[in-house]
Amino acid sequence: MTAPAELRLPVSAPPRERLRHAEHVMGTVVSIDIPAAAARVLPEVLRWLHWVDATFSPYRDDSDVSRFGRGELSLAQCAPEFAEVLIECAIIRDQSDGYFTTMPGGRFDPSGLVKGWAIERAAAILNAAGFAGHCVNGGGDIQCSGEPQAGRPWRVGVTDPLRPGELAAVVSGRDFAVATSGTAERGAHIFNPHTGRAATGLAGITVVGPRLTAADAYATAAMAMGDAAREWAEHLDGYEAFATTTDGDTWQTSRFRARLS
Amino acid sequence: MRSVVLALGGTVAGLTLLLSFKSHSAAPPGDPVAAAGMPATQGSPRPQGSPRPSAPAARSRATAGSSAAAATRTVTGDVDSTAYGPMQVQLTITGQKITKATVVQRTDSGEKSDQIDSFAIPRLIGETLAAQSGRIDAVSGATYTSSGYITSLQSALDKAAA
């Protein structure tokens, strides 16, 4: 004898183990891949990203970056994180012989580093809450932590800058960052600060290493260098690079192969 | 000679595209069992969505490429008349692997067409890439704008996981 239909309980779906969230912020979309249990930390992560947008956007007249650039705020009057970003920028500027600059268009704009730094800090919020298995992708710049499943590393596809929709490489690992700079999405928007002209030579470059703050800024600097980036990237400590030239050739640093999936 | 079958079927949540790639002699185009198959790649994940026996199927023809065994070829599906307008899928095949999937003729303009373009096409491309290169968790590339995200591979991955 079967129970009356109205007494049957619905069969519940198994609980989802992973959660994906896509947030429009900082002029792009940040995709967040976290354990489902980390949902309670998500609001804090999103608040952080929007705070960074409001504080560091050069497109907002009332941001600290805009007001500092106009001389309306001293460094001490800016948010404490502002000095932290300036120090990171200064380090990369020195490491890149000035190819990374906070004055890319003649006015103060640390955007070449801020997004990577913001994503790295967002990942740190998740780590601090005890959720190591996450991947945060800020418009193509990625910080991965732990594993998506026990025993499986993260796998990150690198788009081919000259062939939309195709992947040029797949890198994998645990606790690593991947940043790509290139002309595929927004054209030749990176300038060589030493000539004042649009950077030439590279269609795209991907930098892989432990921290996204450095990887993002290194990728920006390497695009500005163009052909000279190959020799420079070979000597970066702990960071590897893969590049596609405007002619369609590719090159990689000697230890990049170890990052390939 | 290989054949491409594009099956379109509506679902409650939206539109799911299913792409099948099979030997021409295995089954006639439109066969629901064949349409559920995937490229002959070991361990490939199957695309989401279910085939419909009534789904329209398109016979395909090779339009470019050389006769070399491992050469890169381009296969273009026939224009498929769907409820959302005419559609055509083009695959780039290197040896036995699909290396690229694009929609070479999009739907007519209109509300439903926008829906299919922004939802189904990146999803189709993303699933095809995922099937060919193994599971991909995220995609790194030049920073996309908020609107550029819609057609990005990352968007396809996010939709597939949602």
Measured between CA atoms, how close is A24 to chain B, in angstroms? 7
pLDDT of residue A3: 46
Least confident of A5-9, A256-260, B6-10: B6-10
Measured between CA atoms, how close is A128 to chain B, in angstroms? 22
Average pLDDT over residues B112-130: 52
**Residue A137 burial by Cβ neighbours in a 10 Å radius (0-12, 13-18, 19+):** buried
B2 pLDDT above the threshold of 80: no
Positive or negative, the CA dihedral B147, B150, B154, B155 is positive
Please indicate whether residue A201 or residue B36 has the higher confidence score (pLDDT).
Answer: A201
How far is residue B47's CA from residue B130's CA, in Å, rounded to a whole number? 9
A254 pLDDT above the threshold of 50: yes
CB contact under 8 A, A157 and B101: no
Please indicate whether residue B122 or residue A235 has the higher confidence score (pLDDT).
Answer: A235
- For the ranges A111-125, A157-171, B53-67, the maximum mean pLDDT occurs at A111-125
**What would you report as the CA-atom Rg of chain B, rounded to the nearest whole angstrom?**
15
Candidates A31, A155, A204; nearest CB to B142: A204
Please indicate whether residue A228 or residue B29 has the higher confidence score (pLDDT).
Answer: A228
Fold of B72-161: Sufe protein. Chain: A (3.90.1010)
pLDDT of residue B11: 24
Average pLDDT over residues B72-100: 64
Q: Tell me the pLDDT band of A130, cut-offs 50, 70 and 90.
A: very high
Q: Tell me the pLDDT band of A119, cut-offs 50, 70 and 90.
A: very high
Average pLDDT over residues A124-131: 97
Nearest to B78 by CA among B94, B90, B92: B90
pLDDT of residue A13: 52
Least confident of A9-13, A201-205, A207-211, A246-250: A9-13
pLDDT of residue A237: 95
Average pLDDT over residues A148-159: 92
Measured between CA atoms, how close is A61 to chain B, in angstroms? 20
A183 to chain B: nearest residue by CA? B142
Is the separation of the CB atoms in B56 and B16 below 8 Å?
no
How far is residue A129's CA from residue A34's CA, in Å, rounded to a whole number? 12
pLDDT of residue B18: 29
Q: A50 φ, ψ to 5°?
A: -70, -30
**pLDDT tens, residue by residue, B122-155:** 555 555 555 555 678 999 998 888 878 877 778 8
Mean pLDDT score of chain A, rounded to an integer?
Answer: 91
CB contact under 8 A, B137 and A139: no
Q: What SS3 state is found at A12?
A: coil
B149 to chain A: nearest residue by CA? A29
Please tell me whether the overall predicted TM-score, pTM, comes out greater than 0.80 for this model.
Answer: no
Least confident of A2-11, A79-88, A136-145, B93-102: A2-11
Ranges of beta strands (E only) in A99-224 are 134-138, 141-145, 154-159, 167-173, 176-182, 202-209
Amino acid at B27: A
Amino acid at B128: T
Please indicate whether residue A126 or residue A168 has the higher confidence score (pLDDT).
Answer: A126
Domain ranges of chain B: 72-161
Mutate to test the interface with A, among B74, B143, B144 (most CBs of A within 10 A): B143
Amino acid at B7: A
**pLDDT tens, residue by residue, A61-78:** 999 999 999 999 999 999
How far is residue B33's CA from residue A141's CA, in Å, rounded to a whole number? 40
Per the structure block, which two tokens stand in for B68? 């070399």
Mutate to test the interface with A, among B89, B140, B150, B155 (most CBs of A within 10 A): B140
A157 pLDDT above the threshold of 80: yes
All residues of chain B having their beta carbon less than 8 Å from the beta carbon of residue A24 are 146
pLDDT of residue B126: 56
Q: Tell me the pLDDT band of B9, cut-offs 50, 70 and 90.
A: very low
Q: What SS3 state is found at B21?
A: strand
Q: Tell me the pLDDT band of B66, cut-offs 50, 70 and 90.
A: very low
pLDDT of residue A39: 96
A228 pLDDT above the threshold of 90: yes
pLDDT of residue A92: 96
Average pLDDT over residues B99-112: 57
A220 pLDDT above the threshold of 90: yes
pLDDT of residue B70: 61
Number of residues written out for chain B: 162
Q: What SS3 state is found at B141?
A: coil
* ipTM score assigned to the predicted complex: 0.89
Q: What angle do CA B127, B133, B136 make, to 5 degrees?
A: 65
Question: For chain B, what percent of residues have pLDDT higher than 70?
Answer: 19
CB contact under 8 A, B136 and A180: no
